Amino acid sequence: MNSFRQANFRKRERPYIKHLHKKMYDEYVKQPWRNSASLEEDPSGRRRIDTYIDPRILEPLKNSFQQAKLRKKLYEYKMGIGSECTKIYSQLSQLSQTIELWSQFDVIALATIYYNLGVIYKDCRSMKDTKESLYNLSKSRALLRGIELNCTAIVIAVKTVIAMGEIQETETKQWLTEAIKLCLQYIARDNFQTKPIYTYLADVSEKRDLRWVIILLYGYMIRRMGMLYCPTGEMDEWIKTVHEFLNHRAGIINSPNETCEWSNAAVTISTYLIKKQRFTEARNCLTAAEYMLRRIEGDPSVNVTVMKLNAEVADAWLTYTTNIMRESASQLQRLQVQQQASSVPNQEEPQELLLFTSLSEHLADINNRITDSYVSNMHDADRISCFAIDKYWLARNIFVRFGNDVGHLQTAFKYALTFKYLTSFTTDTKVQIKIHESRKKLLRTICNEYAQNMIHVLEVVFHLGAMLEMWKDAAEAIHSVIAETRLDCDLYSTSEEKLQYILNLLDYYKHWLANRRCYFI
């Protein structure tokens, strides 16, 4: 396959979902605390905790915290950790027999002790014992069941689940998903309104407040998710988790900025679903994104952002039309070869569709504009193409307005690709030539425009190469149809000359890029 094609030009990959959700997360964590000034100004957070905890728990709590801090230090510090842990276990055993009624702070303190012991046995080389570590972490998790979303418990709960995933590598995805769900549920409950009260938790800086601790944890989990899922491309569980959160937020969002981030995330999810040929769900994502943006159109605080996002949504729709046309054409070709019925079945759907049920009453009319099924005839295929035309000009005009040359080129590429597949639904050579000529005209116009003005912009030149590849395909298709049908000899000669011109131009750009030692995927 040609290097331009291998570069995955078909889609300008949006930032990974992790970046979009970190932005959504930031919308919450940047909010100021809404509690009393006395708590906000009090610098003695850890000393205040001492007054809430049973004094008999405080000593093993502080000791476990100290030993956890030493677990990664030099060897001489590790010699006494084992004896101190034994001492802590003994104290916990005595406490379980003497304390009859535990307060919530006491329970959280105990969970913290078990977490600290868990990471000691996980990380300390001289004491590494995964079974003992998992036992302590499981105790911590069990103690926090039902109170994880308390502002004092959330960090402990999340860190415990993360640590369990680091030990049980075969279940890492499951544990990370659970930890991320806890974070998303915490956001949804707007628990950032209260001042957090820290316990003596290992690896938590005294200088950071709850918001930043969770941001760091969240970033770590997203990076781990990326490492686990990206090699396989299978992100169904992860997508499901995020979709669930977006579906919940859709009905209660009142911030224009969050609405923008919500739409951006929905578009990104749609891209994954399109690649998986899950067109029903992808269509629902894009219509939901459109609807959410319509709600805030005219708001001067996000006017430019909304306009740019409308271009992104239109661009995603072109990804949708390109893929559904390609799969329909491929399916139709297979059926023709097998001499089966002309009707083409829809894509295989998962058992449980990811749909924005919280917006269902608003999306019905928008959904009906375009099919989510494979098509098998020129009439239905042409309807998809007409939809693509509208989306192309919407995206094109906005990209040009804001000087987004790469966005414009990539949108034009997908637009032309949609019409390439349109020719698969007719055997009329005149219609085929007309479609290919339209594609060729569009591609020639764009290539000539950017070749003159952007010759020294490497990224644009690279995308021009991909555009030329498609222009060449269109010219070859016309040339092939003329040759097969034995049309006018002059027309055949003219098409041959045009094809050679394109090939020469394409060779020029290939050499231009090769001389700059650019390597592409």
Looking at per-residue pLDDT, the higher value among 54 and 73 belongs to: 54
pLDDT for the residue numbered 278: 94
**How much is the average pLDDT of 245-260?**
83
User: Could you tell me if residue 214 is inside a domain?
Assistant: yes
Which residues form the domain of 271? 242-337+354-402
Are the C-beta atoms of residues 182 and 165 closer than 8 Å to each other? no
* Element (DSSP H or E) covering residue 366: helix 360-367
User: Could you tell me if residue 92 is inside a domain?
Assistant: no
User: Could you tell me if residue 94 is inside a domain?
Assistant: no
- Whether 117 shows a pLDDT value over 90: the answer reads yes
- Whether 182 shows a pLDDT value over 50: the answer reads yes
* Element (DSSP H or E) covering residue 388: helix 378-401
User: Could you tell me if residue 379 is inside a domain?
Assistant: yes
> Residue 231 — pLDDT band, cuts 50, 70, 90?
low
pLDDT for the residue numbered 517: 42
**How much is the average pLDDT of 138-162?**
89
> Residue 315 — pLDDT band, cuts 50, 70, 90?
very high
Both 133 and 161 in a single domain? yes
User: Could you tell me if residue 96 is inside a domain?
Assistant: no
Instruction: Select from 345, 369, 402 the last residue of a domain.
Output: 402
- Whether 29 shows a pLDDT value over 50: the answer reads no
The DSSP line for 1-24 is: --HHHHTTTTS-PPPPHHHHHHHH
Looking at per-residue pLDDT, the higher value among 458 and 401 belongs to: 401
- Domain total in the chain: 3
Both 177 and 257 in a single domain? no
Both 388 and 439 in a single domain? no
CA atoms within 13 A on the CB side of 254: 2
Lowest mean pLDDT among 44-58, 77-91, 313-327: 44-58
pLDDT for the residue numbered 216: 72
Both 368 and 290 in a single domain? yes
Exposure b/e, 26-60, CB count within 10 A at least 16 = b: ebbbeeebeeeeeeeeeeeeeeebeebbbeebbeb
> Residue 308 — pLDDT band, cuts 50, 70, 90?
very high
User: Which residues have a Cβ under 8 Å from the Cβ of 431 and sit 6 or more positions away?
Assistant: 423
Instruction: Select from 185, 203, 232 the last residue of a domain.
Output: 232
Residues of the chain with pLDDT > 90: what percent?
Answer: 24
Both 301 and 188 in a single domain? no
Written as six digits, the tokens of 422 are 């349109």
Both 488 and 384 in a single domain? no
From the list 405, 428, 408, 426, the residue with the least C-alpha distance to 416 is 408
Amino acid identity of residue 66, one-letter, is Q
pLDDT for the residue numbered 3: 41
The DSSP line for 431-490 is: HHHHHHHHHHHHHHHHHHHHHHH-TT-HHHHHHHHHHHHHHHHHHHHHHHHHHHHT--HH
Both 163 and 289 in a single domain? no
User: Could you tell me if residue 34 is inside a domain?
Assistant: no
> Residue 5 — pLDDT band, cuts 50, 70, 90?
very low
Lowest mean pLDDT among 22-26, 196-200, 420-424: 22-26
Both 137 and 260 in a single domain? no
- Whether 366 shows a pLDDT value over 90: the answer reads no
Both 195 and 157 in a single domain? yes
* Element (DSSP H or E) covering residue 313: helix 303-338
Both 264 and 397 in a single domain? yes
User: Could you tell me if residue 190 is inside a domain?
Assistant: yes
- Whether 12 shows a pLDDT value over 50: the answer reads no
User: Could you tell me if residue 43 is inside a domain?
Assistant: no
Q: Provide the 3-class DSSP secondary structure of residue 25.
A: helix
> Residue 459 — pLDDT band, cuts 50, 70, 90?
very low
Q: Which of 154-158, 199-203, 487-491 has the highest mean pLDDT?
A: 154-158
pLDDT for the residue numbered 391: 96
- 328-358 pLDDT, tens per residue? 999 888 877 765 444 445 555 556 899 999 9
* Torsion angle of the four alpha carbons 213, 216, 221, 224, in this order, in degrees rounded to the nearest 10: -150
> Residue 37 — pLDDT band, cuts 50, 70, 90?
very low
Both 246 and 391 in a single domain? yes
**How much is the average pLDDT of 125-134?**
85
pLDDT for the residue numbered 189: 67
> Residue 190 — pLDDT band, cuts 50, 70, 90?
low
Looking at per-residue pLDDT, the higher value among 224 and 35 belongs to: 224
pLDDT for the residue numbered 11: 40
**How much is the average pLDDT of 95-109?**
78
Phi-psi region of 93 (alpha: psi -120 to 50; beta: other; left: phi over 0): alpha
> Residue 202 — pLDDT band, cuts 50, 70, 90?
confident
Residues of the chain with pLDDT > 70: what percent?
Answer: 64
Both 57 and 172 in a single domain? yes
Q: Provide the 3-class DSSP secondary structure of residue 95.
A: helix
Exposure b/e, 229-256, CB count within 10 A at least 16 = b: beeeeebeebbebbbebbbebbeebeeb
